[in-house]
Structure 1
């Protein structure tokens, strides 16, 4: 659980253009129960994102977001995605657990999984070069714990030129560096769900010029939904060592993450009413927000690996990221005000993504007949009723499962970001110059070894189901239907091994005179994709279990076509640019405007979408290796006497080619969106109030599916919002946050709607003695069902839709000791 009190977030200190400035915040390492320090930071907001040198927020022409400790506590997040949805203008569909979230910034649609146009970073470098790698979304490899000093974000605009493949924005988590001596230990217990967690952090000075910080977490528990076993288990350790010099510093850092977390995929729900006014209801015994179709009776998968060898996999691995990363950062003044900054990181990344996907839901009898023919008989395959006939098979529901059993052989990446800054005194103003070179190598090596099962439709430990045909011949093996995705046409036994090499020189100029600031930046990305893909293989009867007999499921074995690899061999290049102006009308008021174009190179999803030649690996005619985003924004900023107000109007045009794993469908769309983004905060004494809202009018203006042109993009709500009040004294704090969204459509066809919903979170913290804090927080206090996506575009004949909801109510208690 990510308790809000493990963070002390500085306000709006964003770091892309000159990240070394943001790496030296003295207040950020302070204990969580030190509100005076938070107030001190808030009085001197500095923006260092997308400018050549740090500026007051009122002097910057970029759209920025900030979260402080109070806002985090009110949000009571259980994952990084739940934390990100508190950021203004950030749309985070946080319904997948502790990873696999769909995240995007305002004006840009979420069409498939992950964060295609937005980059997640740690300490100024990307976690992965591409945020939407299939079954390897960047947030799977991110855990926020007490080593985090603050979260920084920029939306749109200059993100196009200060990071590769991120025209929609950047969200960056910054680590503590030991600038404040001390540490903390926090123990967290789930009061109504399975969670036992320990967070530890310690840092300080080893000498006047040497500081360190080290910490991490370990947790174990069932998780926020009833799974029947410890679905969340593992932890991480992070640390750094910094040597300061008279004109710079050098820092070594490392991270080791080995964690297992359940990936919550859609769940069957009953939908009544009409497409335009639907009513989503739980199936009997299967809550969409408190249950999951994971089960203690469904934990092992026998399959063929990427080389067609038999292996047994543990479904309880869920999302299992293993990350071993080491890096450094150095900043030095090399001559007469010229400052060089370099960041480097190598990350060895591998693991698993294993989760059951409901390919179809119907009555037991209809599914049994579909597997074994008319007159088939269904029995429980395991569990307490193993071998018994299923009562009332014509009214009892079952789920046809495709097990997303994916092995992440390697997502290794190496990145380096080198920057040179200088400020020139022009007499009547100051000119800031930034030059840089970015280089990365991203590997994507995966095996998809999917299989199909039949499972009863219930939560809290569903049993697998066996089927015999009318002649009594078994059609399944302990619920296994096929060694392949039979519900998807026997697809999805595939393998690919790809390398993406990206280089990007960039430059920025910013000129300030009086109240006027003008800035512009360019970035030229060029890269290449090399490697191979293979699949989907033929169906070949195979004695998978090696018992000398080929069962019915073994006759439906999809194998890897090992002698039919397809090469991938193409290059890409594109230019990104951004220009902005800011005019400070008064000490507390400014206006700004910006226009930008940025690109996103397509990655693994692209090569499986029929865009490359099967013989040469080159791009096929009409295939775009890069999708472009054009954005215009203008706004007003006001800060005075505890009140801050920001309003930004925006317009975005987005090209997108993509491929969806669940439907095996490629599409090419162009979107237009405009709207307004509002953000405000007020503080007086111990009371604070923060609020934000984003209105978006979005439309599909071009598509390879002409029937959807003119429609609103799927899952795009017209208005999302958040309100968070809080009251703090020396002895206690109490707060809440309400996060809401209006309705949206499940698919681009604009028929079935996802209903509007509001989620309320709350917390109370008590400090009975110095350096000790006891807190209780509730996430989704009123246990609402908030659906973020659904597979069906309209209500089917049986009224059952596969939809993914936010988690139900979870309440936790934490005891924290600062030392």
Structure 2
């Protein structure tokens, strides 16, 4: 892959001709009847945009008047961003740090210095105002993995802090609400084709129109196949989705029902070998850090041993399934007015599978000679192995599993686990709100929220294989000279941690919110929420240290964890109250200031309870902000402070003897900072936008790590986004780009794995030939920058202080070309 050919050359020439630094990604061609983008050339839209997320009443609130921080993106802005995944879109949001280097699914998302070891525990993904799955994160499941972007999405609103702890599922971090298109009164639609230099072929469509008087429909979706942003030697991304809705309008309201089916398989990328020289990171010899991966055809299809027997029971795995999803979602929104009352209801039901088949790297690479020596030492120290062999080992040898001969002692090798996680998900959520104006300027809202959700889990973690350190790695077999077999078809280990669990959760909440326009320039609001969570679970117990085949001479399965047929149960119930209060003052119609305080919480989820973490996480947040928007400029500033307590931190770490330990800790943090986004439009057609954050987050009450910086999140991030629109003989053209600077970070809570600062440049160009035909071309990471999103997550401390180490870089340069036709 990544022989960029004519596609890359054409896209690069079209984009770089803009002489603009790129606004990340590509404005994919316009779809049916788009609303005007809240960007250059349409300042009125930016000034008067109405938002509905975090607002009590169904009719929403002008974004400029909101007493909280919220970012929005229209359909066109989403396409300009050209996100590699749903989570990757959130890079447009100040105060949100996204690590999307895992591919389409499995991102890590961090909010405003909230401490986290990964996944996205403080990010809620909503569709039409309903959480698609009530827990924001379970192990091996962050909820952006359950949602795919396509042309059926009209816009997105991302609320940080503010009143978020009061409504919906009470998320204290960020709530991302994807709002779907509805049917239209006249027939219309669009089709779009996308090609990518990584072997991407994608088609999108959306059609809408009337069914009957006051009844309209919308249907759309996508299908795509891709070799992947890293070369896996097989189709890395395959699948698509279809979404449909019906809207019925009445004299006093409307009802919309919608359905979505997602069936998608996505490669899951983890760490690769890199070189560190006094903190300066470079490529490992023979390994392209932007495009290569250890995954390949040789380890794609394997069988892991999961239960004992003379011939151990096996489970077939295919890494081609990656971290995909087969999900059906049904939902409805109901908005009516009855005399002085407004009634709103949002319902969502989800059912399906979200499994993981992934290669998880462990300890840093070593030479085969050193690896064999360590196995000789371990075998000779084991009395049972020594007795069965009859003599100690003095050496060993290795061969390639594929039959290509003996492996040289100088060959670099590493152990990596092939992990299998099955998740069967089901959830139902419903939120009901009733609003009424109590007196002039004062609106009171009461509501309730109910969620019932479950996960059926079957995990086999571990299953280490011995691999050559090269792209599309080869499997290696090792045997000792006293008859001991270190490996089986490359496997040097069996499962170290199994889970067979049935989890059920139920949350019930009541909330009250009041908004009062005290004067024409002063608006205040306050709210409170009571919520109760109840969880019950049944889990099968593990027996560890089991020899699966009863033969001490086969080291690869001598120390397995197995499900043993005994069970334990968990019963948990807890109630908690959250609150918020805010005010906004209009200095002018286009200049507002606001203040906000809230107190939120996060209940322990299924995996926390399984590991004995019953504490409720609490966070207090304070915000001060300024908002202004005119024809010539926009500016949104939010200063924030938060104090976090009760953080459960979980990490699977690699021990020196090759075993792994599930490490858990409880701690807290504090963070303060300034989010900013804005734009200037000095001349017609030209805009220079910016977004970013300056923040300082540190651990508190976290033992020896207290005072360390919160892991993974930069202290400073800024993006500059120039664009220029102009007319040509062919049609309306747009040149755009993004220059992004990401500050230094630490991969670990010990602050010993430093992740350096870096800059990237993206460029793009678009051409709308007429009202029907559009083209776009983009190049991302133009200069093929090497930069890390994380270090070695399986090692505590200074894993990257010098020499060879494992880390996960951003993707290399890639190009995209799209064409769309509206009708």
- TM > 0.5: yes
Aligned to 2:436: 422
Aligned to 1:390: 407
| 2:40/2:686 contact within 8 Å kept | no
Cα distance in 2, alignment partners of residues 719 and 7 from structure 1 = 33
Cα distance in 1, alignment partners of residues 307 and 342 from structure 2 = 49
Q: 396-405 vs 51-60, which deviates more?
A: 51-60
Cα offsets for 1:47-102 (capped at 9, x unmatched): 33333332222322111112345644543321112211111221111211111111
Cα distance in 2, alignment partners of residues 172 and 34 from structure 1 = 17
Higher relative contact order (CA 8 A, sep 6+): 2
Cα distance in 2, alignment partners of residues 257 and 553 from structure 1 = 38
How many angstroms does 1:365 deviate by? 2.1
Pairs aligned (count): 759
| 2:117/2:711 contact within 8 Å kept | no
Cα distance in 2, alignment partners of residues 104 and 425 from structure 1 = 41
Q: Which of 623, 634, 639 is equivalent to 2:624?
A: 634
Cα distance in 2, alignment partners of residues 104 and 603 from structure 1 = 18
Matches within 5 A, 1:91-102: 91-102=97-108
Cα pair distance change 1:472/1:306, threshold 3 Å:
closer
Matched, 1:456 2:460: no
Cα distance in 1, alignment partners of residues 37 and 673 from structure 2 = 38
Cα pair distance change 1:693/1:230, threshold 3 Å:
same
Cα offsets for 1:230-265 (capped at 9, x unmatched): 011111111111111111111111010110001111
Q: Which of 660, 663, 670 is equivalent to 2:650?
A: 660
How many angstroms does 1:306 deviate by? 9.2
Matches within 5 A, 1:686-701: 686-701=685-700
| 1:764/1:777 contact within 8 Å kept | yes
Cα offsets for 1:105-138 (capped at 9, x unmatched): 22323x2222112211111111221222111111
Cα distance in 2, alignment partners of residues 422 and 210 from structure 1 = 28
Q: Which of 501, 507, 511 is equivalent to 2:512?
A: 507
How many angstroms does 1:207 deviate by? 3.1
Cα offsets for 1:463-487 (capped at 9, x unmatched): 1111111235432121111222xxx
Cα distance in 1, alignment partners of residues 715 and 709 from structure 2 = 9
Aligned to 1:413: 427
Consecutive unaligned residues in structure 2, runs of 5 or more: 1-23, 378-393, 654-661
Matched, 1:540 2:538: no
Cα pair distance change 1:406/1:368, threshold 3 Å:
farther
Aligned to 1:23: none
Cα distance in 2, alignment partners of residues 773 and 306 from structure 1 = 57
| 1:222/1:231 contact within 8 Å kept | yes
Q: Which of 149, 169, 179 is equivalent to 2:184?
A: 179
| 1:362/1:398 contact within 8 Å kept | yes
Cα distance in 2, alignment partners of residues 144 and 543 from structure 1 = 47
SS, match of residue 502 in structure 2:
strand
Cα offsets for 1:308-341 (capped at 9, x unmatched): 95321212110121101112111111x2121111
Aligned to 1:303: 304
Aligned to 1:48: 52
| 1:257/1:323 contact within 8 Å kept | yes
How many angstroms does 1:456 deviate by? 0.9
| 2:799/2:805 contact within 8 Å kept | yes
Consecutive unaligned residues in structure 1, runs of 5 or more: 9-26, 485-490, 612-622
Aligned to 2:87: 81
RMSD: 2.5
Q: Which of 188, 208, 211 is equivalent to 1:206?
A: 211
Q: Which of 511, 534, 538 is equivalent to 1:528?
A: 534
Cα pair distance change 1:270/1:115, threshold 3 Å:
same
Aligned to 2:417: 402
| 2:29/2:775 contact within 8 Å kept | no
How many angstroms does 1:637 deviate by? 1.2
Cα pair distance change 1:250/1:99, threshold 3 Å:
same
Cα pair distance change 1:75/1:251, threshold 3 Å:
closer
How many angstroms does 1:608 deviate by? 3.5
Aligned to 1:726: 723
Cα distance in 1, alignment partners of residues 87 and 397 from structure 2 = 44
| 1:517/1:583 contact within 8 Å kept | yes
| 2:38/2:73 contact within 8 Å kept | no
Aligned to 2:492: 481
Cα distance in 2, alignment partners of residues 139 and 34 from structure 1 = 24
| 1:376/1:470 contact within 8 Å kept | yes
| 1:197/1:217 contact within 8 Å kept | yes
| 2:753/2:800 contact within 8 Å kept | no
SS, match of residue 129 in structure 1:
coil
| 2:38/2:74 contact within 8 Å kept | no
Matched, 1:433 2:444: yes
SS, match of residue 319 in structure 1:
coil
| 1:81/1:92 contact within 8 Å kept | yes
| 1:367/1:400 contact within 8 Å kept | no
Cα distance in 2, alignment partners of residues 533 and 432 from structure 1 = 47
Cα offsets for 1:715-739 (capped at 9, x unmatched): 1211112221112235221111122
Matched, 1:803 2:807: yes
Cα offsets for 1:277-305 (capped at 9, x unmatched): x1112212223321111111111231356
Q: Which of 562, 565, 576 is equivalent to 1:562?
A: 565
Cα pair distance change 1:345/1:550, threshold 3 Å:
farther
Aligned to 1:681: 679
Matches within 5 A, 1:751-766: 751-766=752-767
Cα pair distance change 1:584/1:40, threshold 3 Å:
closer
